[in-house]
Structure 1
Amino acid sequence: MSSQTNFHHHGRFRVSGGVLPDAVTAYRTYGDPANPCIVFPTCYGGKLDSQMYMVGEGKVMDPQRYFVVTFALFSNGESSSPSNTPAPYNGPYFPAVSYEDNIRAQYAVLQKLGIQKVYAVIGFSMGGQQAYHWPVMYPDVVERYVVICGSARTSPHNQCFLEGPKAALVASKDFNNGHYLETPQLGIRAFARVYSAWAYGQTWFREHKYKWDGLYPDLASFLRERWEDRFLQDWDANDLITLLHTWQNGDVSQIRHGGDLRACLTDIQAKGLIMPSKTDLYFPPEDSVNEMASLTPGFSRLVVIDTVWGHTAGGGSNSTDDAFVQAEIRKFLEE
C-alpha cells in the first residue's frame, strides 16, 4: 500500500519567528474520506515514509476503517524547511516555527480535504506533543488524542538534553554558522553520536550490547552505521536545528492560560490515551503522571509501556512493544 505525497501551498503564512512567503505542508492520505479521520503527524527524525509502521491493512490505522492523514512537520525536509525554501528565507535565514504553527497548517489542509471532525490525533515523540496541541487549539474538532512517548510541555530536563546534540553540530568547524556549502560531515556525525545515547534505556544497552539483533559487531559500528549514516543520508543540518528548536520550545499552555499548564490540561475535553515508556530518557513517565493529575478524570488514562527500549519503544523499533502499543490504541479507538 502506498500513497503519493501531496503538497498544500498556504501562500503567505505567519510563523512564530516571522513569515514564509509560500509555506508548504507535505502530507499523505490513506483510505476513504467518508470514514473517521485519524491525524498522524511526524516526529523528530521522522519522514512521511516512516509513518507506515502504524498505517496499513491489519494495523491500528487501517485505511479500510479510517481515513488516515499523515503530516510532515515544518523543517523535516518535506514540508517547508531551511533546506528547500528559496532565498531570502533559505538555510540559516529560515524563521523559527512552533507547534502551534504546524497545527494551524495541518488544520488548513484538513479543511481543504473537507474534514470537519477528527476522530483521533495519534503521535509519537514530537508527534505526541502535537497530539496534545490539537484538542487545545481545536476543541470542537478533536474527539480523541493519543500521546506516545511525548509531553504537553518540553521539560527543563529535556531542553537541557537537546542542548547537547545542538552544541555538537553548531560548534563544528564545518557547520559555518549554517552557511555550509556541502554536508557538514563533522557536525552531523557529532550530533548523531550525542543524540544516540539518549534514545534507549540503560537496560537496553546492557542487554543488547549494541548489537541490535546481531547486526553490529561492536559499539563503533553501531554508532557509525545506525546513527551517523542515518542523519548523513536523510537530514540537512539546518533542518535538524530548526526542528530541534520547535521541540525545545514546546509548551501547549502558551496557547491558552499564559503558561499555566494545569489550567490548560484541565480544559481538555477530548478523550486521551497517554502512553509513556518506562525507560524513556527524553520523556520520562513521571512527566506523564504529573500531567494526568491535571487532566479531567474519566476523560484520559495512562498506560505505561513496560520496556527496555527507552524512547524508541513507541516508534515501532521492536515487534513486542509495537504490538502492545497498537493493541492499546486499537482498544482505545474502539471504545
Structure 2
Amino acid sequence: MDYDIFELGDVELQSGETLPQAFLAYKTYGTLNATKDNVIVFPTSFGDQHYQNEWLIGINKALNPEKYFIVIPNMLGNGLSSSPSNTASPFDKANFPNVTIFDNVALQHRLLTERFGVKKVALATGWSMGAIQAFQWGASYPDMVERLAPFAGTAKTWPHNSVMIEGIRAALQADAAWNKGIYTVPPELGLRTLGRVYASWGFSQAFYREECFKELGFASLSDFIVKFWEESFIQSDANDLLAMMWTWQHADISRNPLYAGDFALALKSIKAQTVVMPVRTDLYFTPEDSEYETSLIANATFQPIESIWGHLAGFGLNPIDANFIDSALKVLLERT
C-alpha cells in the first residue's frame, strides 16, 4: 500500500446523514517545513486515485517535493477513501450516502489541520473534479489558501455538464447486471458502454479528426475506444462511479451554510492569488463558464489552455499541455 489512511470517525455529512467510521486515503510527497507553510493540496478527480495525479509532481516541476509538502487526498467514493465498495453494511453499495464537494473539502481540511497542524496552504490545485475541490478550498478557507490554480474544471457543475453526467449514468445503469446497485457480478457491459459514451466528451472533435490518439500509441480509432476508454472504467466499481457522479453533478461551491447558494458571493470571497486554466476545446467544463467565474474572483487571471486535446488536456497525456500547466503553476508559486 503506497498511501496512508486518516481515520475520521463517524462523520455527519452535509445531507444530515452519518457516514460511520469514515476515512481518507492520502499520499504525501516531500517534507513539511518547520513553519508548516509549504503545503500544496491536490485532490483527485472522477474515477482517479492519487497515482493519476503524480504526472505533475517532480523535482524539476512546479510541484517540487524537495521544496513543497504535497498532499493528494483521495476523493470520497474513489475506492480508496470511504466508498460504496469498502464501507460496511448497511451503508455499502447503493446505500452509500450522498457526499458533496463541501463534505470532501471539510474532511481534507481535517486531515491537514489535525494530522499535520497546517495553518496555511501555499497552493490548492486540481484537474476536473479536483479543480472543483480546489475552488471549494478557496471559498471554504479564504484566509488559509494563498494561491489557487484550478485547471479544466469549474466552481460548479453548469447545466450542460449535468446533462453529460445524465448520459454516462444512464449508460451504466442500463445494464441489467447493475440490478439497482445490488449486483453480484460487475455490470461489465454498462461499464464498457459508459466508456464509449464518455469517449465523445473527453477529447475534442479536432483531436479525433487529426487522429491524435496515434500519439498515445493506438493504431486505430476502434483500438483507442476499446483500450483507452473502455479499459478506463472496466476495473472500477460501478457504485463507486455512481457515487462520484452524484458528487460531481451536485457540485457548487456556494451550496453550503457558508454561502447559502449565493454563487457570486462564494467566488468573491476567494482571497487567493488565482489562475484559472480551462481548456479551450473542453466540451463540458467550458472556457465560457470559467471566464465568467474568473471575473468574480478579485485576484484571478484567466489563462486558457489552447489545446485540441479537450478536457483530457489537463490529464498529463500531451507534453505541450502538461508543460503549459506546469509553467503556469511555477509563475503562480513565485507570487507573494
TM range (shorter): over 0.9
- The TM-score with structure 1 as length reference comes to 0.95
Letter in 1 for 2:11: F
Tell me how far apart the structure 1 counterparts of residues 304 and 220 of structure 2 sit (CA, whole Å). Answer: 31
Q: Which residue of 2 aligns with 1:274?
A: 276
Q: Which residue of 1 aligns with 2:102?
A: 100
Map 1:228-307 to 2 at 5 A.
228-233=230-235, 235-255=236-256, 256-296=258-298, 299-307=299-307
Map 1:7-86 to 2 at 5 A.
7-17=5-15, 18-34=17-33, 36-86=38-88
Q: Which residue of 2 aligns with 1:153?
A: 156
Cα 1:185/1:294, change in 2 over 3 Å: same
Q: Which moved more, 1:248-257 or 1:170-179?
A: 248-257
Which SS does the other structure have where 2:138 is aligned? helix
Q: Which residue of 1 aligns with 2:91?
A: 89
Consecutive unaligned residues of structure 1, counting only runs of 5 or more, are none
Tell me whether 1:201 sits opposite 2:199 in the alignment.
Answer: no
Tell me how far apart the structure 2 counterparts of residues 45 and 214 of structure 1 sit (CA, whole Å). Answer: 20
Q: Compute the displacement of 1:224 (Å).
A: 1.1
Which SS does the other structure have where 2:274 is aligned? strand
Q: Compute the displacement of 1:83 (Å).
A: 0.5
Q: Say whether the 8 Å CA contact 1:252–1:264 is kept in structure 2.
A: yes
Aligned match of 1:219 in 218, 221, 233? 221
Letter in 2 for 1:116: K
Which SS does the other structure have where 1:258 is aligned? coil
Tell me how far apart the structure 2 counterparts of residues 37 and 92 of structure 1 sit (CA, whole Å). Answer: 35
Q: Compute the displacement of 1:214 (Å).
A: 6.5
Letter in 1 for 2:207: W
Tell me whether 1:177 sits opposite 2:176 in the alignment.
Answer: no
Tell me how far apart the structure 1 counterparts of residues 159 and 244 of structure 2 sit (CA, whole Å). Answer: 17
Deviations, residues 80-109 of structure 1 (Å, cap 9, x unaligned): 000111111110010000011101110111
Q: Which residue of 1 aligns with 2:328?
A: 328
Tell me how far apart the structure 2 counterparts of residues 287 and 190 of structure 1 sit (CA, whole Å). Answer: 28
RMSD: 1.3
Q: Say whether the 8 Å CA contact 1:33–1:115 is kept in structure 2.
A: no
Tell me how far apart the structure 1 counterparts of residues 14 and 227 of structure 2 sit (CA, whole Å). Answer: 36
Cα 1:12/1:149, change in 2 over 3 Å: same
Which SS does the other structure have where 1:25 is aligned? strand
Tell me whether 1:116 sits opposite 2:119 in the alignment.
Answer: yes
Equivalences, count: 329
- The TM-score with structure 2 as length reference comes to 0.95
Q: Compute the displacement of 1:215 (Å).
A: 2.6
Map 1:1-12 to 2 at 5 A.
4-12=2-10
Q: Compute the displacement of 1:216 (Å).
A: 2.5
Q: Which runs of 4+ in 1 moved over 6 A?
A: none
Q: Say whether the 8 Å CA contact 1:134–1:142 is kept in structure 2.
A: yes
Q: Say whether the 8 Å CA contact 1:16–1:95 is kept in structure 2.
A: no
Q: Say whether the 8 Å CA contact 2:83–2:240 is kept in structure 1.
A: yes
Q: Which residue of 1 aligns with 2:308?
A: 308
